[in-house]
Chains A and B, each alone.
Chain A
Amino acid sequence: GAVVSQHPSWVICKSGTSVKIECRSLDFQATTMFWYRQFPKQSLMLMATSNEGSKATYEQGVEKDKFLINHASLTLSTLTVTSAHPEDSSFYICSAGRREQYFGPGTRLTVT
């Protein structure tokens, strides 16, 4: 299957700072990528659809000004958590592909 990478795999930041998470499709081009958030022992919650060359589409209830998404190329999408707070601590996962979605390894964000 296709390979999707994420960087960093884990990050600790202080409350009020911003954190950027990268999602890359390594062996295919992805016009669409998806960003998810997952709380412990829960399912994946779709946050937004990242579209190459255009604005992201956010799910209801997701603050677009807090979770900035940029899909500047066919292999890279970034999620920036702005002014992070402890409640933003979570496991963030991206996916890419068309019918077959391939997931990255995830990024563990801890906000202190």
Chain B
Amino acid sequence: QQQVKQSPQSLIVQKGGIPIINCAYENTAFDYFPWYQQFPGKGPALLIAIRPDVSEKKEGRFTISFNKSAKQFSLHIMDSQPGDSATYFCAASIQGGSEKLVFGKGTKLTVNP
């Protein structure tokens, strides 16, 4: 119930492509869904987050799509660049709870020039 399942494990796209990373959850109490970007040897950086009262959120080239009924959410990266090559983690937490983040296993994205 506490798991967040993330796919794919790795993803290779060409520059300008639109990589899509998917996550699914079981616990309907989750109400906050952030995405983090991590470069090797660095801490994760918060990219964008969504709450279940909206179906989509955009920030720059990053878009989250949220499907509450399917308990799924995804990250889309528009016009991807080689500098976007990193590992991306989805996560979920419960408002008013322990605020602990439950992370997916991560997706290693490679954007080729």
Contacts and interface: CB of A to CB of B under 8 A. Distances in A.
Interface of A: 1, 4, 6, 32, 34, 41-44, 46, 49, 57, 91, 93, 95, 98-106, 108
Nearest to A34: B100
Contacts, number: 53
Contacts of A106: 41-43
Contact of B106 (A34, A43, A91, A103): A43
B36 interface: yes
Contact of A108 (B41, B44, B99): B41
B98 A43 contact: no
A95 B42 CA distance: 13
B95 to A, nearest CB: 7
A32 B36 CA distance: 19
B34 A100 contact: yes
Q: Closest 4 interchain pairs by CB?
A: A103-B43, A106-B43, A105-B43, A103-B44
A3 B86 CA distance: 21
Contacts of A43: 89, 103-106
A75 to B, nearest CB: 17
A6 to B, nearest CB: 8
A34, A98, A99 interface centre (most CB from chain B within 10 Å):
A99
Contacts of A104: 43
